Structure 1
Amino acid sequence: MAEAVATVRQRLRPQRQETRHQIIAGLSFGLWSGLLGVKDEDLWRDCLHRALPLSNGKRKQVAVAVERVRRFRNRLSHHDSAINVDIPFEVRHVLELASYIDDAAAQWLKRCSRVLAVYAERPVTADDTVVVPAKNAWSLYESCRAYVCQAGRGFRPGQRLAFYADREVKREVPAVLHRRDNVEWTDVSASKLRSSTDRFDRKIAAVIDASSAVWADGRYQVFLLTGPGHPDHRQLSRSLPHEGSGRGTAFVQQQRYVSLHSLETATSTADL
């Protein structure tokens, strides 16, 4: 830290800009992210938590949030493709991190940003549905209308999920109502969410309760989904069988993107 500050000051001094604000602005995002590691737990407890007074006070929560924003920022600054990035989801994380510091600042950023207006003008992709492997996920969806996966797992922008289990794509193609990453999967967290006035918080609490036998204590990503009867829900005329057999021939291993139209017109996975 001291070495990084000294380097920035040395660069600013000839320009007569060696002020506190310029020094802070000159430090890399990675430096701040690095200060939130496990080895700096004492630093967090002693003083660093005061920089983010509206967080829950846990270093790990803030570290995950900062690291996600850092990766998103680096992707953009390095001119990597953002075509398959869920921009609204990532922007929400930026605003959430800002709100840990100051709610007014987060609202100011939201008012000033044109990101979502520009995003709304993007070319629309036909692949609006992600098919996920669902050996355990299908039963959870049937009972809770939700999908749970690893925290930080990336997805393209999409409106729907479909489930591949029992060597077929299931008939139900729910719409995504809400997506939340880095959810603490504990009884304590479920209790707090259960008492919230936010309906999504309460729904996530119910998912934690229902899935505790499958998902151990940790942090996970949650999709809350529609069920039959919801106006945005879709149901295929039949499940789509997968004809392949043998190890490694499953229709989807991690996730796969298709269009709702192709699901609705296919007779098997061979048509997708």
Structure 2
Amino acid sequence: MTRRLYALLPLSLLLLLAGCGNPVNKPIDPSSGVWDRYFVGPLSATIDWFAHLLWGQYGLAILVVTIIIRFLILPLTLKQYRSSKRMQELQPELKKLKDKYKDDVKKQQEETMKLFQKHGVNPLAGCFPLIVQMPILIALYNAIMRNHDIKEHSFLWMQLGTPDHFYILPLLAAITTWLQQKMMSSQMNAQMQSLMFIFPVLIFVMSMNFASALPLYWVYSNLFTVVQSYFIYGGFPNKGGQSK
């Protein structure tokens, strides 16, 4: 079940972001509802504030906001890491249960849940950081598309309010997505590792269609994850998938 949820998250994110396309031309109005007041408005204002401090560079402002967001969810990431380590330690016992109750799926599920509860393992813990980031990404998409200053601002070779027609940014987003998954491969089972080539393709396609500021956030976030994983998992993974 956990693997299925994890696999569906990028597609769900794509659909959710696409569903937010209707109000992109509507100005941000904090009095119009909870979404603008507590999510889109504050995020847009935060990006504006940092851009003002950083010589009007919205690309740098997005970098700062990315770092802040990632540090805010760092406790969840650490919890995910501890849970995945416990899950790895339980693999021999899970295999025994699977073999013992191979003809009784219901009993196998019951005993598996008891095992998780006994050792304090949450099989869905790996999804939490992604789930938490989803509304942030949707709010960021709205903040970008509905903030006139961001839409009209350029950074390096890109116009932040439009897709990168040179496809450099989508390619960087895809490569950094693959790289951050590679860094975490030691914590993945064989089925999850097989998805490592699907997620970058999804990110590439999504980045081709969204305003450049959003895949720029993904690139920053992926690079943060690479550095974070280096320290959490103890270095770069070797060919066997284990960190050095």
TM range (shorter): under 0.3
TM-score after normalising by structure 1: 0.23
Structure with more helix by fraction: 2
Q: Which has the larger radius of gyration?
A: 1
TM-score after normalising by structure 2: 0.25
Structure with more strand by fraction: 1
